[in-house]
Structure 1
Amino acid sequence: MSEETTGGTAPRRTPLHGVHEELGAAFTDFGGWEMPLRYGSDVAEHRAVRTAAGLFDLSHMGEIRVSGPGAGALLDRALVSSFGALAVGRARYSIMADAAGGIVDDLIVYRLGEQDFLAVPNAANAEAVLRELTVRGAGIEAEVADESEATALIALQGPAAAGVVGRLLEELELPGGDSELSGLRYYAAAPARVAGHEVLLARTGYTGEDGFELYAAREDAEALWRALAAAGEPDGVVPAGLAARDSLRLEAGMPLYGHELGPGISPCEAGFERMVERALEAKGEFVGREALAVALEAAGDPSSRTLVGLRGLARRPARAGAEILEPGEESAGKVGVVTSGIPSPTLGHPIAMALLERRRAEPGAVLPVDIRGRSADFEVTPLPFYRRGR
Structure 2
Amino acid sequence: MPMRCTAEKALPIFALRTACVASLAVVLSACTSVPTDDGIRIGLAAPLTGSIRHLGRDVERGAQLAVEEVNGRSIVVGGKPLRLSLISQDDAGMPQQGITAANALVSQKVNAVIGHLNSGTSIPAARVYDAAGVPQISPSATNPKLTRMGFERVFRMVADDVQLAEELGRYAVNRLGARRIMVVDDRSAYGQGIADVFERTLLSQGAVVLPRQFANKSATSLTLTVDAIAAQGPDLVFYGGMDIDLGKLIRSVAQRGLRPKWIGGDGICSGELPKFASGLADDQVYCAEGGGPPLKPSLQYQEFADRFTKKFGSAPILYASNTYDSVQAVVAAMVAAGSTDSKIWVPYLRSTPKLLGANGVIEFDASGNLRQPYVSFFTYRRDSRVQIE
TM-score (norm: length of structure 1): 0.26
Whichever structure has more strand as a proportion of its residues is 1
